[in-house]
Amino acid sequence: MTDGSDPRPRPQYGEYATPEEQRARIQQPDVTVALETGAAPAAAETPAAAAASEPPSELIAARRRFFDRVLTIALLIYAVFSVATAIPALVDYTGYVQTLFEFMGISDAPDPSMNGRPWGVAASLVLGVGLLLTAAVSWIMLQRGKITFWVPLVGGIVFNLLSGVLLMVPLLSDPALMGALLSQ
């Protein structure tokens, strides 16, 4: 081929290379011999063997990331349902307080002059915005490959505590509740 008598143009990208030369160049195992003889290719050359030869720490890390992703998504789904059911109850603050009084065994009705609706709406907004922030931070951390399951847990604790404080402000100013709590 180098004497110039070959009428074909000189190959530029290896199109005249033999299959063995091509496999050697791209480092692909030769499975044709194994298929012809019925023998399995060498263990180090199979994709399963390549995955098995992967360091155990990488496999463990991949499993942890998968478990973390599943747990994070499950916690966020739980948070969506929890917030979606809490918002209507908190907006109807009088009904919320009556249910709370019944649960605590207080027979007195809440003070009718107590207007807790703005506090219930504020607590609902805190929960809704908190869910959105928690989901955004979780999404960003998942995209970066970080451990993320703790973000929905911390977000749930923080934003539920904040909404709980907002809900307690009008309750602590209710004389019926304070009298019932002090009498027990």
Q: What angle do CA 61, 65, 69 make, to 5 degrees?
A: 170
The amino acid that residue 31 corresponds to is V
Question: Using CA atoms, how far apart are residues 55 and 71, in angstroms rounded to an integer?
Answer: 25
The tens digit of pLDDT for each residue in 24-79 reads 777 766 666 666 676 665 544 455 555 555 567 777 778 888 899 999 999 999 99
H or E element at residue 49: helix 47-52
The tens digit of pLDDT for each residue in 96-105 reads 888 877 887 7
pLDDT band, residue 2 (cuts 50/70/90): low
